[in-house]
Amino acid sequence: MSVENKFQSQKFYVTTPIYYPTAKPHLGSLYSTLLADVAARWHKLLGAQVFFLTGTDEHGQKIAQAAEKAGVSPQQFVDNLVGEYTSMWHKYELAYTRFIRTTDSDHVQAVQLWLQKLIDRNLIYKANYTGYYCTPCETFITDLAYVKSQDIELVLCSTCQRPTSYLAEENYFFRLSNYQAKLLDFYAQNPNFIVPKERLNEVIKFVESGLRDLCLSRSTVTWGIKFPGDNKHVTYVWADALNNYISGVGYGNSNKTKEFDFWWPADLHVMGKDIVRFHAVYWPAFLLASDLPLPKQLLVHGWLKVNDQKMSKSLSNTIDPEELLNNYGADPVRYYLVSQMAITRDSEFSIVDLEQKISSDLANDLGNLLNRTVQLAVQNNCVKIPVITNWSESSQKLRSSLLEILDTYAQYMHDNYYYLALAELWKLIKLTNAFFHTQAPWVLAKTDCNKFIEILSAVCHVLRTVAILSWPVLPTKSQQLLQRLGHELALDLKPNNSKNLILELKNNHWDLDFNLQAGEPLFTRYDQNLKIKVTEKTNMSVENINQGNINNYIGIEDLTKIELVVGTIINCEAIEKSDKLYKLQVDCGAYGTRQILSGIKQYFAPADLLNRQALFVLNLKPRQMLGLESQGMMLLAKDAENNLQRMAPIAPVPNGTRLA
């Protein structure tokens, strides 16, 4: 039986744009690299040999000016900053194969060799350039946007909207105009060259409107790669930079011919929408001119915006990835960026949104499913779940849904729509939460032990699948999740001996055993609503106090009499004879497990309470209700409409922690 493309990959070469190291990396630069990392990891799961190239673009006027401002040489300037990129990439687990710098000697040699080839082929000539130049974009301006400010006509760059400078200099030109027909033919033959497809139409329009020859050198800039045969010129920074994609895998190095032939052409170049023209027009033309195969695909993403403006160093509205990392950890930020920023368009970045996404998707949907499963197994002494041979109809249905979702997930990953793939994976998690809820294993534990174990096994099989499929985005948490199931990621990355874990998942018949391990929750909840509500309530009380409404003050000695403790609800059962009461079992740490009866049935489903922390008064006199003893009280916040909110610490604390 033949295996569809989306399920196989032998070799995968992916690149990121190389970054101008004018400042520390910001979240926008991290985003391009993250998408490439996700693609690289997906192909590793498919068993492919993977090369992931990223790096820094260190020559040109922009860097020279920044160095001058800093009062150091350009080389010193870039040397000082490049470590910020490599260390940030490590912190975010961006597992590149090579970090290339355009000042690396093998790159410099490759660029000169490539230029010489073009000179030998008579594809380069000397002429004068007069026109505008955008230094922030390092672009010779072909289309202009004019604005009039105080009677002065300013020429703005149409990409970044910043003022350009007028340039009159002698340059070497590349005969780009020779390639118009060839490029149009290439686009027609390769309709999937750009993802998303719509961007290809913009490129086609640009090429159809006519291509002018392109400057390949600068004679008024000195910080760059010397132009072969003419020391007065340095290579134009984009001609230098684009060639990193071939020099990074051995082009121009006689010891690396085999390596280069193996990796080139690139399978995927990842980039932001502002630099498509360089990659979709100039780069293919450069390659055609030197008889090299063209890259297979470009993945073009939108911008991260803050208050509807592009996040950029020059607008000083950048978000520091380090700060996010310290507050939320690498995996949750990676998850937010990949799942919430649709590559097809610009996306607004917001901390509130980030916290909500982490809380709802990671802590609630995924984290709780794991916690509930493990805790039930621990409570019922069956952490070792054996292989199941007889699956009930409902478990088989869950498995069929998993296979369907796996298929769609693989298609989205293959097409580079990672955010849609994640949405698909979360469908599976939600479905499994519903399965857990309807199968009620906490009841089965008492009534039907075999079915209980079968249900836990089904959930564990799903969780293992989720762990493997989420590895590209959650490289650490997914492995912790697997460990909690008693498994590990069997990624054999040795050349020619790699396993295709995705095919294994597809062909797996749910015949695995599990050894569940208890542990800390994998993810933290950031309960925005709760925080906001608490603030609103505090304001209300402040108002009341100001109006002098509190006249029954108590002393601190009264307060210390109350044993207010944090506990986790480990079981929640409805009491049949009552339409209000739940019987809760609460793990109160050193205070033991308490049975607490609470009249909250109409406000919460058991799933809203299970494995959640709440605040309890433990030294209330025990009370009998419907023949059962209640050994404490759960604290709840009640608003004017009688809506109830559970009270809990903002981040989990050990059970039994007292409120001080």
Q: How many CB atoms lie within 10 A of CB 526?
A: 22
Q: Minimal distance in Å, beta carbon 332 to ligand MSP?
A: 19
The token pair that represents 646 in the structure block: 């559970």
The stretches of 528-589 forming alpha helices (DSSP H) are 528-546, 556-559
Q: Which helix or strand (DSSP H or E) is residue 40 part of? A: helix 27-45
Residue 62 or 477: the one with the smaller Cβ distance to ligand MSP is 62
Residue 15 or 657: the one with the smaller Cβ distance to ligand MSP is 15
Q: Minimal distance in Å, beta carbon 19 to ligand MSP?
A: 4
Residue 157 or 366: the one with the smaller Cβ distance to ligand MSP is 157
Residue 137 or 362: the one with the smaller Cβ distance to ligand MSP is 137
The string over 285-316, giving b where at least 16 C-beta atoms fall within 10 Å of a residue's C-beta and e elsewhere, is bbbbbbebebbebbbbbbbbbbeeebbbbeee
Residue 170 or 346: the one with the smaller Cβ distance to ligand MSP is 346
- Report the C-alpha gap between 64 and 168 in whole angstroms: 19
- 267 with 299: CB under 8 angstroms? no
Q: Minimal distance in Å, beta carbon 496 to ligand MSP?
A: 31
- Report the C-alpha gap between 9 and 55 in whole angstroms: 25
Residue 22 or 373: the one with the smaller Cβ distance to ligand MSP is 22
Q: How far is CA 186 from CA 174, 193, 227, 294, in A?
A: 19, 9, 30, 9
Residue 275 or 421: the one with the smaller Cβ distance to ligand MSP is 275
Plot region of 151 (φ>0 → left; ψ -120 to 50 → alpha; else → beta): left
- Partner residues linked to 233 by β-bridges: none
Tell me which amino acid residue 552 is.
Answer: N
Cross-sheet strand order for the sheet of 124-134:
139-140, 124-134, 165-174, 214-215
Q: Minimal distance in Å, beta carbon 10 to ligand MSP?
A: 26
Nearest-CB residue for ligand MSP: 272
Q: Minimal distance in Å, beta carbon 238 to ligand MSP?
A: 7
Residue 19 or 435: the one with the smaller Cβ distance to ligand MSP is 19
Q: Minimal distance in Å, beta carbon 35 to ligand MSP?
A: 10
Residue 31 or 419: the one with the smaller Cβ distance to ligand MSP is 31
Residue 402 DSSP SS3: helix
Place of tokens 């989720």: 466
Q: Minimal distance in Å, beta carbon 549 to ligand MSP?
A: 50
The token pair that represents 615 in the structure block: 């605040």
Burial level of 167, CB count in 10 A (0-12/13-18/19+)?
middle
Q: Minimal distance in Å, beta carbon 8 to ligand MSP?
A: 29
Q: Minimal distance in Å, beta carbon 17 to ligand MSP?
A: 4
Q: Applying CB under 6 A, which residues contact ligand MSP?
A: 17-20, 28-29, 31-32, 57, 241-242, 271-272, 274-275, 303-304, 310-312
